[in-house]
Chain A
Amino acid sequence: MKIAKEIAIIMGITLISEYLNKAVPLPIPAGVYGMVILLVCLVAGAVKLESIETSGNKLVELMPIMFIPAGVGLINYVAEIRQYLVPLVAVTVVSTVVVMGVTGRTAEFILKKRKREK
């Protein structure tokens, strides 16, 4: 029964988030609203960590599987992908590597500097 209760809480927050996503005229997805709502609820003590943790952690753990349908959906875009194949691959590979590198390096740099100051 504990799991059912946990899922009920998570689904309740999901429902509110979906409503906000539709009602607020901003391109912010339901997941982002929900993340903020749940974090605020946890900090405020309105939701106890123990009352969502088991199912919540399982959901996060299973996340890679949830991207399979979207990935398979790429077959619907074969025409577009083929048409722009070279620039698409080039931009995607270069920009992803560079963004990952720059973000990580920036964080490393600032964190190391702060450590030294301390």
Chain B
Amino acid sequence: MLEILSGSAYFGFFISLFCFFTGVFIQKKTGLRIMNPLMLSIIMVIAILQLSGIDYKAYNQGAQIISYFLTPATICLAIPLYKQLRLLKDNALAILVSIVFGTVTSIGSIFLMSKLFGMDHTFYASLLPKSITTAIGMGISEELGGIVTITVAVIIITGILGNVISDLVFKLFRISNPIAKGLALGTSAHAIGTARAMELGEIEGAMSGLSIAVAGIVTVILAPMAANWIG
């Protein structure tokens, strides 16, 4: 029976949604932010696959239908952005400076930590694009001589981490302005952080969506220069 079920293209699709809503339920019941539905659902699906022996390929056959919607959904981030266009125009300089500062901090902190751990160029280059969206990050990693699989793993982990810990970071750094929150989420945790920003509100979502594009492009420009710091 397991074989027939997992062979169906709807298996991965269903199991993903089922685990997500189980995650939503758990978060509601516990009332804990750390019980993030996305994180929980990923852990649950992995556990189900491991326990049942169903391989990732069989799962992804159905699950990839969900992934197909990622590009159109990213495009639709233009909707909150359009609605907040006045806000964007009024604060253009503050927005741009914050994202550039954040991106420089990202590269700088990765450089320092890599030095501290005595990492080689390959590992350093794999980590450099960790805060930006997967599609741009993979390209940068490859070009700079990183290992693309590590980059993808780190980008996804960064996104989930940013999504989960944002409330704590906002408290710690006393960040309360919705524009600042959105920029912080998008610049540090790309689209997965933006998913959290959308939950916070339309301004947060719009600013976070914008940050994905700007931080991505700034990293394309800066990362190749920084890549040579560890030869």
Contact = CB atoms under 8 A, between A and B. Distances in A.
Q: Which one of B42, B103, B136 has the greatest number of beta carbons of chain A within 10 Å?
A: B42
Contact of B212 (A32, A70, A90): A32
A3 interface: no
Nearest to A41: B78
Interface string B146-163: 010110111011111111
B38 A100 contact: no
B222 interface: no
Interface string B169-193: 1101111110111011101110110
Chain B interface main SS type: helix
Interface in A1-51: 10-11, 13-14, 17-18, 21, 26-32, 34-39, 42-43, 49
A114 interface: yes
Given A14-B72, A71-B42, A100 B114 contact: no
A56 B78 CA distance: 9
Given A13-B75, A73-B56, A103 B183 contact: yes
Given A27-B136, A60-B80, A111-B177, A65 B66 contact: yes
Interface residues of A, number: 76
A32 B67 contact: no
Contact of B113 (A42, A64, A69, A90): A90
